[in-house]
Structure 1
Amino acid sequence: MTNADQRSLLRTAFSLHRLPISKVATFLSIAIGINACAVNQEQDSTAELQTEQSSTFNFESETHEHVSNEHLTKLLEAEFLLQREGPGAAYDKFATILRSEKSPAMAKRVTNIAIASQNPAYIEESTNLWISIDPKAEEPYPLQLQIYFASGRYKQASELISRALEHDVSLQFLPTFLDQHSREVDTLETVRLALDELPKGALKNIYLQLSNNRLDFFSGHYTAVEAAIIDNLFETAPKTECKSLYVILGYSQNQLGKTEAAIETLLKGLNDFPNSKHLLIPVIELLVADNQLTRASELYNNAKLSSFDQTQLGLTFAGKLLEHHHYDNALSVLNSLPEKQYGFQDQTKLLTADALNKLGKPIEALNTLKTVDGPLAWNATQQIIRLLYTLKRENEINALVFERLNEEKLQEETMSVAGLHEYNKRPDLSLEFINTVLEAHPNADAIRYKKAILLESLDQWEAAIAELKKLVDSSPDNPQYLNALGYTILVNSNDLELAQNYIEKAYAIDNDDPAIIDSLGWVLFLRDDLDQATFYLQKAWELLKDAEIGAHYGETLWRQGHQSLANDIWRKAYQITPEYPVLMETLNRLNPDLITELQN
């Protein structure tokens, strides 16, 4: 095969191959050098939607003209391995070629493959190679720095920043990185340590100054943030950073109690950056909080935004109005939202229902909630339950909610509905709902287990045992079910031998579960095997400081004549869960004086 034929095949391989990038967005967004900060990045909503829908990384623009004839065959093999087995399998072959070729274009290619592999070691190695070949290339620095920051290697990060400065590589990505990781305390501390390692002269770099300002902001050092922005950064920062500075300064001033100054800062920002959604949102929120509703409404109504951004702004505005009890105003804003809402329909309906309910229109609120059937359907269901309890129509809940259950979240939602009924002191409705679910889903073991626990709490222990036996029959090696059955028999009947049999089976399967160990200790106590009972109950107590375990352990010690030690255990158990029924019953029987001491 001629070299020309090989290159033709390689171009074909390129055109055929696509790499998934859905999970490497952070690496790519930094690597391509986005200028605006995450806190204020202005994007066209259509472009946003198109970006979210993208699912492939296209290498069509790459060519192999930079590869020597000597390595064409190896590169062709690497390309077809990439297609067949993916970037993780093919990376080493590409990296081997790069070490020989030392081509910047090939270095970029190998780094892209490393990114698509989602392997940090490959990304670190490929960017190292790239920087060694072309130290002035901007793309590899943020990728490698992210690896260092994520792994806490601040000294290496500091050395890399120094190298970037030495080669006049822009650090404009660093404030962006901090915005994207603002809630990751360990990462922020690593960045702080890296910057502290730099020589003082390096901190003259504007992007390092902006980064230090971000770190102060995320740490809550608002006075320092305000001073740095006003005294220096507004004058020296690039235009692309000023929008972020207005937001950060306004928030800092508000946190310092300077509400009017914060509002004026954000309004000045809007003067410089008209119709910025990320400036409009905080200033409108501050105006509502300061009861300046007219100014807030004027800003909202005069904003010239896309339908997508107008909807986001309107929902934020309405939410803030609701928070400050301006229900009519909130409803007015919600009713004026654009007809096309880009997936925000559920949120609009939830806020509308809240406003209607607060305005004394619960039936309209209920009817609105019933129409929520998208991603926030479960939120609406929870509000429906609360609203029907408020209307004293709780008997309507189960039939309505059952029709709204999400099959994929059956257990979670069923437990939540049952819990809401029990919170409202209607365990009968909880049991009714669980029975309805089990009729439709008889193999939902976790829900059946919940039913058994509920039955036992309602003193229907024989029915509880029947349900637990069904669970043990279907899952004979489940230690939780075995223990629950044994313990329920133990505390509700005289058949201690049968109870011990189930509990010992549970212990044989899982001898590290403190609940099972407690059950074993307690059945041994009731069968007068005090030494063994103390051994197991002490072990359970050491594993888990629980009020019921403490009650049992203390009683065993008391029975053996160790009253002082028993009292110490009970005191600790009471601190964990005051007034726990099993503990209080034990103290009432054995040492009522201790109850007086504990309650005082």
Structure 2
Amino acid sequence: MTQSTTTRRDPIEHSKDSMKSIQHTLCIAVLSLVLSVPSLAADKAAPSRKRAPATRDAKHAQTTEPLPGDAQLTDQVVYRVLLAEIALQRGDVNLASKIYSDLALLTRDPKILERTIEVAGHARRFDLALTAARLWLEVEPGSKRAQQILISAMILSNQLADLAPSLVRLLEKDQASLGENLLGLNRMFAQNPDRQAVFHLIDETCRPFIGLAEAHYAVAMAAGSAGENGRALSEIRRALELRPDWELAALLEAQILTRQSPSEAISSLQRFIAQHPKASDVKLSLARALIGEKRYAEAKHLFDELLVDYPDKPEIVYPAAILALQQNESALAETRFKHLVTLGIPDKSLAYYYLGQIAEADKRSAEALSYYAMVGAGEQFIPAHLRSARLLAEQGQLDLARVQLREVKGATPEDRIQLLIAEAGLLREAKQEQKAYNVLDEALTAQPEQADLLYETALLAEKLGLTDILESRLRKLIELRPESAQAYNALGYSYADRNIRLTEALALIAKALKLAPEDPFILDSMGWVLYRQGDLAAALTYLEQAYARRDDPEVAAHMGEVLWKLGRIDEAQRTMREALKKHPANEALATAIKKFAP
């Protein structure tokens, strides 16, 4: 058979927008030439403010040329900065980073050191960045900024083994924000693939602060990311002992437990709520977990409680509306979606799309069309236009529906193909198969290897009796997409349906079934080709599997015919008549019933 065509972050990703300086990375504001060069030139005019290039130690003297006089130094600095910036403009980041690195060693100026680190980071010369960061801290040992940059350079250089002492010193210097900074540790190393190394580093860094719940939380996060679930659980439970009402820790505990047992995670959230019934974040997480386990009644009870306390929180209203929709409580879902769009959420398209679906299902076509028209750019944009066009066609406005599909603004080339296929579908349903074929064939002429167009035009060619075109296009599709189960199935089914080349048909459908063993349409095709070959028992087995997966009228027609041939007349009639009640306009079913009518 052929086939028709803003929630709260999880604790593991937790971060605050106002993270303190310990979370800064190597990215620094660009030091403009206008600001840096005059500051050096000003030193010439004000000897009392000169910095310390003349007091360099012997180590740096070995790596740079003798320091020239002030005027010569200023000229060299200006020249080298210009040279480095021109190299950057030309895309030669390696040359720029080398020039700045030499200049940093020459001047030991903090601004030039900072610019050196930035350029070296851009060039991914983390060795140069690390050298400059260490020199900066040597020049300004009390600079907190220099300490931050050194840590960042060590992180980017993947020198984690020696990093813990520097992190501890930096953490200790900001006692007022210690807890928050501990929570930010994992974010600093989020891009590092060596999760074990990160875990050991954070474990070592947090030891001096082990009396703080945030330290245990940080270790738990790192342990969980490294796959050390036992250690992660023990650490997060210690955090909860220190701060029993800490929702963030309760959420992380549940997240860790989910990896081994969703039911245990749910139990942990339930225990926390029993002790802290106003914990809204935990209650929301529990409601979502219950939905994941299909415990819808319990989830609905929680959402009802949450909505009493927080009727205007989109992160609660939206999932509550979705749950009502899943439970076929359309009126309740509609009320909640209508409320959602009044809450000032940045993107209302999804809510409008669901409101359109609800109105469409309730036969309120004009209302549905108005909702679909309000769906903006995004995942629902094209589906909303497709549904609008179908509604217009059902109202007898086929021409208007086609115009709407062709005039969608902002559609991608891939979207345009799907819109054309939808237009052809509307024409086919209106019994205008030739026009439908012409629409797609014209597009295929411009894109002769477009897979979807090859497939759809092949199916329409079959409807028009153009079997040569059907076969040639499906074979071309198989050549272009050798893993396309639908192409093998369509070609095999076309042979089986015409009762020709049945051996080849069986091979094609078997190939399709191997690629997509659960596809009900392919299972139906296999049943149909086996029926054509006279293997009625095997045919019925495949058809029953197909019908169990999809209540499709054509599958019901095939089952009815096979049952009739097996002498099971009552079952055949019952199967087809029950299907006809659900699909009264289906031609294949009506034809089968007429064929076997007494």
Alignment partner of 1:247 is 2:186: no
Residue number in structure 1 paired with 2:81: 76
Is the alpha carbon distance of 1:327 and 1:586 closer, same or farther for their aligned partners in structure 2, counting shifts above 3 Å?
closer
Counting aligned pairs with the same residue, the percent is 9
Indicate conservation of the 8 Å contact 1:178/1:214, yes or no. Answer: yes
Uncovered stretches (5+) of structure 1, i.e. residues with no partner: 1-35, 45-55, 149-155, 304-309, 469-483, 492-502, 504-512, 519-539, 553-562
Alignment partner of 1:113 is 2:123: no
How far apart, in 2, do the equivalents of 1:221 and 1:323 lie? 37
Residue number in structure 1 paired with 2:161: 159
| 1:428-461: CA deviation from partner (whole Å, max 9, x where unpaired) | 778756755887x798425877555534434469
1:55-204 matches, cutoff 5 A = 59=31, 63=36, 64-65=39-40, 69=70, 70=73, 71-78=76-83, 80-81=85-86, 84-85=89-90, 88=93, 90-115=96-121, 117=122, 119=123, 121-123=124-126, 125-131=128-134, 133-134=136-137, 137-142=147-152, 144-145=154-155, 147=156, 156-162=158-164, 164-165=166-167, 168=170, 176=184, 178=186, 190-196=194-200, 204=207
Alignment partner of 1:515 is 2:479: yes
| 1:71-101: CA deviation from partner (whole Å, max 9, x where unpaired) | 5234431464267446836333222322434
How far apart, in 2, do the equivalents of 1:408 and 1:144 lie? 46
How far apart, in 1, do the equivalents of 2:257 and 2:202 lie? 31
How far apart, in 1, do the equivalents of 2:288 and 2:464 lie? 57
Is the alpha carbon distance of 1:84 and 1:258 closer, same or farther for their aligned partners in structure 2, counting shifts above 3 Å?
closer
The answer to which structure, 1 or 2, has the higher relative contact order (CA under 8 A, 6+ apart) is 2
Q: CA deviation at 1:143?
A: 5.6
How far apart, in 1, do the equivalents of 2:230 and 2:463 lie? 63
Is the alpha carbon distance of 1:447 and 1:219 closer, same or farther for their aligned partners in structure 2, counting shifts above 3 Å?
same
Uncovered stretches (5+) of structure 2, i.e. residues with no partner: 1-9, 19-27, 41-50, 54-69, 139-145, 173-177, 291-297, 493-502, 543-598
Residue number in structure 2 paired with 1:230: 237
Q: Report the residue type matching 1:159 in the other structure.
A: A
Q: 2:299 aligns with which of 289, 296, 312?
A: 289
Residue number in structure 2 paired with 1:528: none
Q: Report the residue type matching 2:472 in the other structure.
A: T
How far apart, in 2, do the equivalents of 1:336 and 1:285 lie? 20
Q: Report the residue type matching 1:192 in the other structure.
A: Q
How far apart, in 2, do the equivalents of 1:544 and 1:437 lie? 20
How far apart, in 2, do the equivalents of 1:267 and 1:87 lie? 62
Is the alpha carbon distance of 1:337 and 1:97 closer, same or farther for their aligned partners in structure 2, counting shifts above 3 Å?
same
Alignment partner of 1:418 is 2:432: no
Residue number in structure 2 paired with 1:509: none
1:34-53 matches, cutoff 5 A = 39-41=13-15
Indicate conservation of the 8 Å contact 2:434/2:464, yes or no. Answer: no
Q: CA deviation at 1:368?
A: 0.9
Residue number in structure 2 paired with 1:299: 309
How far apart, in 2, do the equivalents of 1:57 and 1:430 lie? 63
How far apart, in 1, do the equivalents of 2:473 and 2:239 lie? 74
Indicate conservation of the 8 Å contact 2:306/2:316, yes or no. Answer: no
Residue number in structure 2 paired with 1:214: 221
The alignment's TM-score, normalised by the length of structure 1, stands at 0.53
How far apart, in 2, do the equivalents of 1:457 and 1:223 lie? 56
Q: Report the residue type matching 1:488 in the other structure.
A: S
Alignment partner of 1:322 is 2:325: yes
Cα RMSD for the two superposed structures? 6.1
Alignment partner of 1:488 is 2:472: yes
| 1:270-320: CA deviation from partner (whole Å, max 9, x where unpaired) | 979xxx9x778646757972523442112223x7xxxxxx55554455344
How far apart, in 2, do the equivalents of 1:369 and 1:313 lie? 24
Indicate conservation of the 8 Å contact 2:375/2:381, yes or no. Answer: yes
Alignment partner of 1:575 is 2:514: yes
Residue number in structure 2 paired with 1:537: none
Q: CA deviation at 1:355?
A: 4.5
| 1:197-245: CA deviation from partner (whole Å, max 9, x where unpaired) | x6975562557753442245558887765543232366289x9xx6642
Indicate conservation of the 8 Å contact 2:284/2:302, yes or no. Answer: no
Indicate conservation of the 8 Å contact 2:168/2:205, yes or no. Answer: no
The alignment's TM-score, normalised by the length of structure 2, stands at 0.53
1:3-42 matches, cutoff 5 A = 39-41=13-15
Is the alpha carbon distance of 1:337 and 1:99 closer, same or farther for their aligned partners in structure 2, counting shifts above 3 Å?
same
Indicate conservation of the 8 Å contact 2:216/2:236, yes or no. Answer: no
Residue number in structure 1 paired with 2:356: 353
Q: CA deviation at 1:409?
A: 0.9
Q: CA deviation at 1:266?
A: 6.8
Residue number in structure 2 paired with 1:48: none
Indicate conservation of the 8 Å contact 1:229/1:245, yes or no. Answer: yes
Indicate conservation of the 8 Å contact 1:38/1:180, yes or no. Answer: no
Which structure is larger by alpha-carbon Rg, 1 or 2? 2
How far apart, in 2, do the equivalents of 1:62 and 1:263 lie? 59
SS in 1 for 2:147: coil
Indicate conservation of the 8 Å contact 1:141/1:160, yes or no. Answer: no
How far apart, in 1, do the equivalents of 2:96 and 2:232 lie? 47
